[in-house]
A and B are shown apart, each in its own frame.
Chain A
Amino acid sequence: MSSAADSPLIEAHDLTKRFGDFTAVDSVDFSVRAGETFGFLGPNGAGKTSTMRMISAVSPVSGGTLRVLGRDPATHGPEIKARMGVVPQQDTLDFELTVYENILVYGNYFGLAKDVIAARANELLEFVQLSERRDSKVEPLSGGMKRRLTIARALVNEPELLLLDEPTTGLDPQARHVLWDRLYRLKQQGVTQVLTTHYMDEAEQLCDRLVVMDQAKIVAEGSPRQLIDRYVQREVVELRFAGTPSVDGQLEGLGERVEVLADRILIGTDDGDGTAHAVHERGVPVESVLVRRSTLEDVFLTLTGRTLVD
């Protein structure tokens, strides 16, 4: 009762990707277990998409080893792809075809029988709430609908592993929540998911475990809660100012950690209310004070000294 079930679905050691002189992914190690939702979190250019493309077996590795579903993508690409679903960063839907036909054509590539594809396509359109648009063209669909169709299409082969590269980038808040809900249901059905995002709330919402990537390297790894516990204080006091923040040492000794940003100052502390109170007592010329729980955003800031910029 060992091996197959327990061994990771994805395993990378010293995984490296170079484009000429540029190193996009620099000796990273990670593994993804069956059933979990695993995230790559980081700003644009951190190496997330390059990593995803290597996992999808469409980008040869430059160094290190990578096993996906127990196989080497360099030699077993098609076998891996047969058991995997890919939702790329940019939609790659065929605008000449209808919503339904996009799934139908895709199912053909996996060698599925027509009636099997037809049955699954209808189920999947139901699942992503596009049944009413079944026979409409793809182009007039909203961004969120196109995303959902791309996900439905990626599920036609009933993959064990679903890769999602920035699944909600560019979507409005409501469309994001609909999508998150669907991804959560897939997780309940036991589909292992690997996703990239530069949204902290998305990573916290969806991921069981994640790695933070910055400048081609993995800088931290753990569950969202573990990362927050390990790298930041429980709460953050956010100070906003009328102009540029200027405090001249007035915050000396407050909280555990102070980050001065362009438009605000963040104080990491285990006692948010106490710190906020002290800020007022000292007469710091703030415009507003907000006490909130620490998030992955604060983790990233602590680890890299930078905010995540879109």
Chain B
Amino acid sequence: MAAVAHVPSTTPLERTFAVTSWHARSYRRTWRATITTAFLNPIFFLLSVGVLLGQLIDDDRAQLGGLSYVEFVAPGLLAATAMQMGANDAMWPVMAGIKWLRTYHAVLATPVRVGELVIGTMGWSGVRVLSAAAIFTAVAAIGGAIPSALAVLAPFAALLTGLALNAPITAFSASLEGGDDGWYPALNRFALIPMFLFAGTFFPVSQLPDWLEPAAWATPLWHGVELCRMLTTGDLDVLALVHVGYLLAFVVVGTILAVRLHRRALLK
């Protein structure tokens, strides 16, 4: 007689979802700590920069394609918040799972495969980004900063932006063999904050010196901002496909690298 199989077999999707629900359960204890960065800060930004500062510059709407400043900046903040959340989820929490708390090792002692662990973890970041983006979009719409009904799709554009940062940074975290978190502040200072300030969140990148503008086009945030802006303003054109394609490339390549590098870090 064959040995009894009292453990049910599971599908990859079920195992991936089990990882996502692990993160969701852990998050129940820590949500208070992240509520400000995820929900309140972007709304404060919208008020201070969009509404209050915006009133000073609303005389020249031609520069913003006929939009009020708050209408212009709201999708920028939406994409930038998604970027920041996606990036943060891929830094210390990933390092903790691999290196400090070693919780990822516990997951891999079960039938869960590395790819399922990585994608399930990214999936949880996606859930967080999508819900923060939905709330922000709703608040901005109530506040009159969203002229188009296409904005219902904007949270999904924000999700894509968040994952376009989350996937490659997850790969980066897994590549830090020694657990050197000194790279994270550098990543913030030299990549994320400059993107936040210069890649189209607060002003059209055409304002940049001509030689610098192409650099802005290369950033994933600019594509995310443009995509969100097309949706919240209703000014959608075929370039949207380019933005989606560019962001998807970051997600796909980032995920493939992340799985490979996790395998190297966890299955020695």
Contact = CB atoms under 8 A, between A and B. Distances in A.
Given A92-B102, A95-B101, A105 B22 contact: yes
Contacts, number: 96
Interface in A43-102: 53, 56, 58-60, 69, 77-79, 81-83, 86, 88, 90, 92-97, 101
Contacts of A96: 26-27, 29-30
Contacts of A92: 101-103, 105-106
Contacts of B27: 96
B18 interface: yes
B256 interface: no
Contact of A111 (B14, B22, B25, B26): B14
Given A4-B3, A58-B109, A110 B10 contact: yes
A111 B7 contact: yes
Given A96-B26, A105-B22, A88 B1 contact: no
Identify the interface centre among A58, A95, A106, A109: most chain B CB within 10 Å of its CB.
A109
Interface stretch (B35-43, B110-118, B206-214): B110-118
Interface residues of A, number: 36
A78 B109 CA distance: 9
B6 A158 contact: yes
Contacts of B7: 82-83, 110-112, 157-158
A66 to B, nearest CB: 15
A154 B29 CA distance: 24
Contact of B112 (A59, A109, A112, A158): A109
A160 B112 CA distance: 18
B6 A58 contact: no
B249 interface: no
A69 B21 CA distance: 30
B57 interface: no
A239 B153 CA distance: 82
A95 B29 CA distance: 10
Nearest to A111: B10
B213 to A, nearest CB: 44
A250 interface: no
Interface string B257-268: 000000000111
A108 B14 CA distance: 9
B215 interface: no
B131 to A, nearest CB: 19
A156 B105 CA distance: 17
B127 interface: no
B2 interface: yes
A4 B2 contact: yes
Contacts of B266: 58
Contacts of B25: 97, 101, 105
A108 B18 contact: yes
Contacts of A58: 105, 108-109, 266-267
A60 B110 contact: no
Contacts of B109: 56, 58, 81, 86, 88, 154
Interface of B: 1-3, 5-10, 14-15, 18-19, 21-22, 25-27, 29-30, 101-103, 105-113, 266-268
Given A95-B101, A108-B21, 16 more contacts: A4-B2, A53-B268, A58-B109, A58-B267, A60-B267, A82-B110, A94-B22, A96-B26, A97-B26, A105-B18, A105-B21, A109-B107, A109-B111, A109-B112, A110-B7, A111-B8
27 contacts: A4-B2, A4-B3, A53-B268, A58-B108, A58-B109, A58-B266, A69-B3, A78-B113, A79-B111, A81-B109, A82-B9, A88-B102, A90-B102, A96-B26, A97-B29, A105-B18, A105-B22, A109-B10, A109-B18, A109-B107, A110-B7, A110-B10, A110-B110, A111-B15, A111-B18, A111-B111, A157-B7
